[in-house]
Amino acid sequence: MNKKVSTIIASIVAISLLSLGIFYFSIRSSGAEISKLEAENIITSQYPGSIHGEVEKDETHGYFHAIIDHKGKAYDIQIDENTGKVLNLKELSISVDDDSTHESKEKKEKEQKADSNNDKENQQSEKEVIITKAKARALALEQFEGTIEELELDKDDGRMVYEVQLVKGEDEADITIDAFTGEVIYKDIERDNDD
């Protein structure tokens, strides 16, 4: 009988230690930083265009930073080093076409970083995205014919999106459009069936 009790107690202790080890490992791994290559892959998979120069890590503020060249325009993007989420995406007032402007770009980037760090919420506006409200409206109407009840620019999972609500009679649609690429990310259409 004592052998069975000893075996049960030993099993409980072993399971407890194993559970604590798994819990500890999951906590440690959840705070792991993404690599420079992973940050580059996040940028290239979510946004068109090419990365101008290299992805750089800002140790002070905890994010990766890159300049994207898309159709002759330059965009500044910041990726959180822990989560991989897009923290900020802004259109720069300069074009990316040669290395002679690289020094002035770096100066403007530093000024913009300082400005964005002072603004805790990093409010973004329609000027900082490629797709305008008019284009988002047209894209939404391609997905669902109706009347637009609401159209707003919002940040969703670190990504700037247009959230559009449309109505046609009793039918309703919610559509989410990437404000940088114009891609329809989400579409939910509710139809009222009078059967």
Q: Over the stretch 27-58, which tens digit does the pLDDT of each residue have?
A: 444 455 888 888 888 888 777 778 888 888 88
CA separation for the pair 155, 125 (Å, rounded): 10
Residue 151 has pLDDT above 90, yes or no: yes
Rounded to an integer, the average pLDDT of 15-24 is 70
**Segment of 53-67, 108-122, 175-189 carrying the highest mean pLDDT:** 175-189
Contact criterion met (CB below 8 Å) for 176 and 162: yes
Residue 155 has pLDDT above 70, yes or no: yes
Contacts (Cβ under 8 Å, ≥6 apart) of 111? none
Give, for 151, the enclosing helix (H) or strand (E). Answer: strand 147-156
Confidence of residue 168 (pLDDT cuts 50, 70, 90): very high
pTM of the model: 0.43
Contact criterion met (CB below 8 Å) for 152 and 162: yes
What pLDDT score does 108 carry? 55
Q: In angstroms, how far is CA 146 from the centroid of its own chain?
A: 29
Residue 109 has pLDDT above 50, yes or no: yes
Strand partners, 57: 64
* Residue 113: how many other CB atoms lie within 10 Å: 18
Residue 157, classed as helix, strand or coil, is coil
